[in-house]
Amino acid sequence: MVFTFALPDYPILLGPLADTLPAWLAGRRYSNVLVFTDQNTQTHCLPRLSPFLPAAPGQVAIEPGERCKTLDTCQQLWQSMFAAQLDRQALVINLGGGVLGDMGGFCAATYKRGVDFVQVPTTLLAMTDAAIGGKLGIDFQGLKNAVGLFKNPAAVFVDPAFLDTLPPRELRSGFAEVLKHARIGDPDLWANILARAQAQPAGQVPVAASDWLEVLRASIAVKVRVVTEDPLEKGIRALLNFGHTIGHAVESYFLESDAPLTHGEAVAMGMICEALPAENGRGGHDTAMEQLILSCYGHRPIPEQAFPQLWALMGQDKKNASGAVRMAVPDAEPFSMRLLELTRPDMERRLRYYNRLV
């Protein structure tokens, strides 16, 4: 079964690659095809993609991981595009997770002022979030996604079968974005996940393998609605950053440590901190969400000596305006938000609250 999300500029095709990619390619006349992978997706995913591509496409494999989302790796990708003599009628296929898709898309969108690219996400995070909505870029000077642009892909092909290539920790990481989408825009999906989590051992994602298609359909629908309404993040799209103002800073802080956090682990922690009511503010603690997140992701206290650096990192957040750190939190109604100004004492209060949870 294939579900099609028809966005204004491009389709997202959710279903087996065999039922989507060949028909889409057949309707186009690309001069050349170059596949970007990382070393993991080259081994585990490329053999599943290759049967649907024209004979002998070019292929480049980069090192996996956030640490490689750099200008140096971009140079490697651009060089491979020149070496393959791609012209502007060529197609780049990004086969990988969020890092590969953001960076491969960035290189494709800037090579000779832009060639078409498609996203074939292989992680849960990329399937439900990163591959959708045209945000491309790389990290720079220790800041996540500091350099980049908005440019939509020609299409996105989401095949849930790739989820079986993921280690459990990577699946849990992507699940944080599913939680985020459910919490901000789909009360039924949220209730469904909470109910499933009751019956699930700690440390596991509460979705059975056979249910991913439905869960992805609901989660992608939330993202599609937001990016269609606000493609360039002038308003409601900021809500997709729920959990990320604090989460990105925590992720960046631990990136250089011996025990980095995954993106989803950091965002889940950020969701707990950001959902906390303002001091004397309205609303109660979202204890159901806190329990779900602690059960799925465990607990990783943030050392107090990290607070100054975390505050400095939050000062670089792209939502900030006029020097104020801003975070978007969901309001009572689905797809409604409040944009809060975060002060340093408030950040510390929120992190201390998280530290005390167990």
Q: Closest distance between ligand GLY and the C-beta of residue 105, in Å?
A: 12
- What sign has the CA pseudo-torsion 315, 320, 326, 332? negative
d(CA 263, CA 34) in angstroms, rounded, equals 28
277: which DSSP letter? Answer: P
The least CB distance from residue 271 to ligand GLY, in Å, is 14
Closest to ligand GLY by CB, 61 vs 130, is 130
Q: Which residue has the tokens 């290539």?
A: 165
CB of 248 to ligand GLY, least distance (A): 11
Q: Compute the distance between CA of residue 59 and CA of residue 61 in angstroms, rounded to an integer.
A: 7
AA letter at 257: S
Q: Which two tokens stand for residue 89?
A: 């009628």
User: Could you tell me the smallest distance in angstroms from the CB atom of residue 77 to ligand GLY?
Assistant: 21
Instruction: Considering the complex, state which of residue 42 and residue 252 has its C-beta at the smaller distance from ligand GLY.
Output: 252
Cβ proximity to ligand GLY: between 129 and 274 the closer is: 129
Contact 12, 4 (CB under 8 A): yes
Kindly compute the dihedral angle of the four CA atoms of residues 88, 89, 95, 101, in this order, to the nearest 10 degrees. Answer: 40
Q: Where does this chain bind ligand GLY (CB under 6 A)? A: 129, 133, 135, 237, 240
Q: Which is nearer to ligand GLY, 116 or 129 (CB)?
A: 129
Closest distance to ligand GLY from the beta carbon of 64 (Å): 20
Q: Which two tokens stand for residue 244?
A: 């990320």
* Shortest distance in whole angstroms from residue 135 CB to ligand GLY: 5
Minimum CB–partner distance for residue 352 and ligand GLY (Å): 27
**Helix%, strand%, coil% for the chain, nearest 5:** 50, 20, 30
Residue pair 163/125 in contact by the 8 Å Cβ criterion: no
Q: Which amino acid belongs to residue 119?
A: Q
- Smallest gap from residue 184 Cβ to ligand GLY (A): 11
Q: For residues 149 and 195, which CB has a smaller minimum distance to ligand GLY in the complex?
A: 149
Tokens found for residue 318: 């792209």
- Report the residue number, 15 or 98, with the smaller CB distance to ligand GLY: 98
Helix spans in 210-343 (H): 212-229, 244-255, 263-275, 287-297, 307-314
Q: Give whichever of 49 and 108 is closer to ligand GLY, judged by the CB atom.
A: 108
User: Least distance to ligand GLY from the beta carbon of 238, Å?
Assistant: 8
CA distances from 149 to 235, 256, 279 (A): 17, 26, 36
Q: How far apart are CA 287 and CA 325, in angstroms?
A: 25
Given the complex with ligand GLY, which of 81 and 101 has the nearer CB atom?
101
Q: Which is nearer to ligand GLY, 231 or 301 (CB)?
A: 231
Task: Name which of 17, 6, 5 is nearest 159 in CA terms.
Answer: 17
CA–CA gap between residue 126 and residue 84 (Å, rounded): 27
Distance separating alpha carbons of residues 280 and 283, to the nearest angstrom? 9
Could you identify the residue written with the tokens 């950040």? 347
